[in-house]
């Protein structure tokens, strides 16, 4: 009887894919939170020392603009996560080298400024960013030999 496979015939690559799927799920959830709420998170208020209502009193149009920016961040997260899922399921599991590089570059483009701003602003998202970096590094290291033997 033949053994069933999860995504590929490689245990290492399967673990890497699972880690990267978890990463993209976290990014997807973060994106949806920003898109749906389009409001300050508690760590934004803690950092700035000003609430949305205070900004609205100061200048209502400013809060509208900030809400648009927050939604843009959410859609950025959403596009990275959906792109990640497409890469994983379309070509990563087939060990196409370009997909490994594209996945890494795509996620580094959002992760690098995200870690910087999160270190400045702080908050709960710092934990998620650190978890995200760990998942990305482990997923890419575990899968490296599968792509570049």
The per-residue pLDDT for range 94-134, each reduced to its tens digit, is 999 999 999 999 999 988 888 888 888 877 678 888 999 99
Please report whether residue 50 resides in a domain: yes
Split into its structural domains, the chain has a count of 1
Please report whether residue 114 resides in a domain: yes
At residue 6, does pLDDT exceed 80?
A: no
Please report whether residue 2 resides in a domain: no
Alpha-carbon distance of 77 to 12, in angstroms, equals 27
Q: Which residues contact 38 (CB under 8 A, 6 or more apart)?
A: 67, 68, 70, 71, 74
Please report whether residue 34 resides in a domain: yes
Total-model pTM = 0.88
Pick from 19, 5, 24: nearest CA to 143: 19
Distances, alpha carbon 66 to alpha carbons 38, 41, 69, 119, in Å = 8, 12, 5, 20
Q: Where are the alpha helices (DSSP H) in 9-96?
A: 11-37, 42-48, 52-58, 60-90
Query: φ, ψ for residue 50 (rounded to 5)?
Result: -145, 145
Tell me how far apart the 2 most distant CA atoms of the chain are, in Å. Answer: 71
Full domain range(s) for residue 126 = 17-147
Pick from 66, 64, 43: nearest CA to 121: 43
Please report whether residue 6 resides in a domain: no
């Amino acid at each position: 009887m033949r053994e069933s496979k999860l995504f590929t015939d490689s245990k290492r690559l399967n673990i890497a894919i699972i880690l990267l799927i978890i990463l993209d799920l976290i990014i997807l959830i973060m994106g949806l939170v920003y898109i749906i709420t389009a409001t300050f998170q508690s760590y934004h208020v803690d950092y700035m020392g000003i609430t949305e209502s205070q900004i609205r009193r100061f200048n209502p149009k400013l809060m509208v603009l900030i809400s648009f920016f927050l939604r843009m961040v959410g859609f950025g997260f959403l596009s990275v996560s959906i792109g990640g899922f497409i890469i994983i399921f379309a070509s990563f599991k087939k060990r196409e080298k370009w997909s490994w590089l594209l996945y890494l570059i795509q996620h580094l483009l959002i992760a690098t400024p995200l870690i910087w701003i999160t270190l400045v602003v702080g908050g709960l998202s710092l934990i998620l960013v650190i978890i995200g970096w760990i998942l990305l590094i482990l997923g890419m290291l575990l899968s490296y030999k599968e792509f570049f033997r």
